[in-house]
Structure 1
Amino acid sequence: MKKRLWQLKQVADNPEELDMYIYDDIQGDTFDYWTWSMTESETSANYFREQLAKYPDVKQINLYVNSYGGSVYEAMAIRSQLLRHSAKVIAIVDGFACSAASFILTGCDEVKMYSNTMQMIHNMWDVVAGNANQLRKAADDLDKLMEGNRQAYLEKSGGKISEEELIELLDNETWLTAQECLDYGLADEVIAEEADLTEAKQLLQKANKTLEQQLSYSRALSAQIKQLSQKPKEAEPKPDPKPIPNDNNDPEPQENKTKNLFMALFVNKEED
């Protein structure tokens, strides 16, 4: 069973506060090609909306984050939901807040980071297939989407970072320390204590594995599409390999002759 990303519970000693945990990847519903069935995600914006609606009167939401990111499509809607909610949203980075997870942080009123935690920001990417025009359009679409994406970071920074500086950070797929996030306005406080990053490291390893799987699936799908689009060719008979000539009157096999010739050349080389 998939580990739940969002864990919503009211704080025992304060029913006006709500704890939330982002401790896994962010994704929508997925289709399982192995079982040929749809899997409902507990990490989607829709699931988040349903759960958040159960607590309309809370005054403060504590959002604990340790995630390498996921779908920016889902993250955009989650961020908007946090902005609309009347509660004060305080995010605490427990490990990594990467990619789409860092985007969600821009919708929080306050972002606190332990001194050894990090954010990672980069440009959006996608896996596409098609002709040359479609590929060019996909790149243009990503550029357009990033224009809106950057505004979220710029608004959160409060003027501490220019758009030119942000573009450079995004282009370089930059890891930011807690102090750097504070300097850029992407965090509001650095907690002097250090967080346990054991689970964060495991998430990063999982991120690498997941990316490899996605690329593998994409290559396999492309190969299948290419194979289906090609007309099968009739198999041509392969010519029989020519036998190595050998004099029937010569008792020494041809392979021994070759070996002896090689050894003779090797000895002569050593003697030179």
Structure 2
Amino acid sequence: MSKLNQFFNVIPSAGGEATLLLYGEVGDWSEVSAREVVTRLLELTSTYKKIDIRINSGGGEVYCGLAIYEALRNSTADLTIYIDGIAASMAAIIALCGKPLYMSPYARLMLHNVSGGSWGNSKELRRVAEEMEQLQGTLAKMIAGRLGKTPEEIEATYFDGEDHWLTAQECLTMGLIDGIYAMDEDDTPPLNEKSTQEEIQKYFQNRLDNQAITNDDMALLDEIRKACPSITASMGEGEVVREVARLSNQLKSSEEENRELKAKLASIEAEQHKAILDAAVASGKITAEQRTHYEALLASSPESTKALLASLPEQKPKNKLPRVEDHLGGEAPAPKGKFEGKSWDELDRSGLLAAYKEADFEGFKALFQAEFGAPYQE
């Protein structure tokens, strides 16, 4: 594993295999983003026979993690997942996507409640809490299948407000993983069963960072030289690494701009989603009570949810009851007073049918026709 390959989160191999690294925080604007992971996975699937997914992550955003989970679960590639150091929170859910899963002897897997924050009035806060509880139910179903338990059992055991840190041996005994992989004989990490999650995660990150570029990377180096104008053919391996580091620093320097852009995009997206949902409710495609559910769907899978809403039929409002002023007879003036605004049933309950018949017989017959769908007969 080299610094150069780590920069792109992909480690190719001449033997028809590739490794995709999920090292870092899970989030659309973090090291492990859904867009990046899914894109890289699709690219690798078309090129390599076997793909290894290696995880060292403390977790992150739930919806981003769900997209990665679904991509891995539904992938047609020969996938094997390895937890090198830490798979905590949403990273643990990703690891449990149903593919063969192995842990290093020193790794940890952590499960706990969905957490988050919000601000607003009590109704808004309750809505956020309800959404978090719905997400927990979804995650519980995903884990339950792996352990052969019910979602209720999973929620009671792992979503009880505590952090549940599990060792590789505990996960193997429970059936959460398929095995514990052996590390290379020359690996002598300063780790043991009592090592903290920070020590474990840092060790495997440093282990990745400190690898030197090997001959296996030469093909990739050539591709990088071709793709980056600032990297010339005369540069050696060390110069290439330094140039990649420089480019990486440039990206980091724009971190504040990225945060501002993220906030703007989030605001625009929120307005778009609001407009879509307003239109769906107004047209009767969904009810006001269903709106919260579709808000969550738009946040997790916007394009598919938009397509779903577009496919729903509009529910036209029911026709209002026929009323006197809608069925005036001949040249009769607009009704006033006791007849005005009343339907057939309202006239009947008020004992005014006979009086209305006397006052406007043609209107009476028209109202009868509209109410019963048949002409009035004496």
TM-score range, shorter-chain basis?
0.5 to 0.7
Task: Read off the aligned partner of 1:166 and give its amino acid letter.
Answer: I
Find the counterpart in structure 1 of residue 78 from structure 2: 88
Segment of structure 1 superposing worse, 92-101 or 196-205: 196-205
Q: Does 2:101 align with 1:111?
A: yes
**Contact 2:45 / 2:51 at 8 angstroms: preserved in 1?**
no
Distance 1:56 1:191 in 2: 24
Task: Read off the aligned partner of 2:19 and give its amino acid letter.
Answer: D
Report the CA distance between 1:94 and its aligned residue.
1.0
SS, match of residue 91 in structure 2: helix
Find the counterpart in structure 2 of residue 210 from structure 1: none
Task: Read off the aligned partner of 2:25 and give its amino acid letter.
Answer: D
Q: For each residue in 1:195-247, what CA deviation from the matched residue of structure 2 results, as whole angstroms up to 9, or x when unmatched?
A: 84599625869xxxxxxxxxxxxxxxxxxxxxxxxxxxxxxxxxxxxxxxxxx
CA RMSD of superposed structures (Å): 2.7
Find the counterpart in structure 2 of residue 65 from structure 1: 55
Structure 1: 5+ residue runs without aligned partners? 30-40, 206-272
The change in CA–CA distance for 1:199 and 1:146 in structure 2 (over 3 A counts) is closer
Name the TM-score, length of structure 1 as normaliser. Answer: 0.62
Report the CA distance between 1:156 and its aligned residue.
2.3
List structure 1 runs of 4+ shifted beyond 6 angstroms. Answer: 3-6
Find the counterpart in structure 1 of residue 12 from structure 2: 10
Q: Does 2:129 align with 1:132?
A: no
SS, match of residue 61 in structure 1: strand
The change in CA–CA distance for 1:180 and 1:189 in structure 2 (over 3 A counts) is same
Greater percentage in strand? 1
Superposed counterparts of 1:28-177, under 5 Å: 28-29=28-29, 41-57=30-46, 58-157=48-147, 159=148, 161-167=149-155, 168-171=157-160, 172-177=162-167
The change in CA–CA distance for 1:80 and 1:22 in structure 2 (over 3 A counts) is same
Segment of structure 1 superposing worse, 161-170 or 189-198: 189-198
The change in CA–CA distance for 1:53 and 1:24 in structure 2 (over 3 A counts) is same
Identity over aligned pairs, percent: 28
SS, match of residue 50 in structure 1: helix
Q: For each residue in 1:19-54, what CA deviation from the matched residue of structure 2 results, as whole angstroms up to 9, or x when unmatched?
A: 01122111113xxxxxxxxxxx55211122222222
**Contact 1:114 / 1:192 at 8 angstroms: preserved in 2?**
yes
The change in CA–CA distance for 1:150 and 1:67 in structure 2 (over 3 A counts) is same
SS, match of residue 24 in structure 2: coil
Name the count of aligned residue pairs. Answer: 188
Relative contact order: is structure 1 or structure 2 higher (C-alpha 8 Å, sep ≥ 6)?
1
Distance 2:188 2:90 in 1: 21
Find the counterpart in structure 2 of residue 20 from structure 1: 20
Name the TM-score, length of structure 2 as normaliser. Answer: 0.45
Report the CA distance between 1:116 and its aligned residue.
2.2
**Contact 2:106 / 2:200 at 8 angstroms: preserved in 1?**
no
Superposed counterparts of 1:104-253, under 5 Å: 104-157=94-147, 159=148, 161-167=149-155, 168-171=157-160, 172-191=162-181, 196=189, 201=198
Find the counterpart in structure 1 of residue 251 from structure 2: none
The change in CA–CA distance for 1:148 and 1:164 in structure 2 (over 3 A counts) is closer
SS, match of residue 83 in structure 2: strand
The change in CA–CA distance for 1:5 and 1:63 in structure 2 (over 3 A counts) is farther
Greater percentage in helix? 2
The change in CA–CA distance for 1:27 and 1:88 in structure 2 (over 3 A counts) is same
Report the CA distance between 1:121 and its aligned residue.
0.6
Q: For each residue in 1:59-109, what CA deviation from the matched residue of structure 2 results, as whole angstroms up to 9, or x when unmatched?
A: 321111111111111111011111222112211111111011101112241
Task: Read off the aligned partner of 2:62 and give its amino acid letter.
Answer: V
SS, match of residue 62 in structure 1: strand
Find the counterpart in structure 2 of residue 246 from structure 1: none
Structure 2: 5+ residue runs without aligned partners? 203-378
Distance 2:167 2:196 in 1: 18
Distance 1:59 1:103 in 2: 25
Find the counterpart in structure 2 of residue 258 from structure 1: none
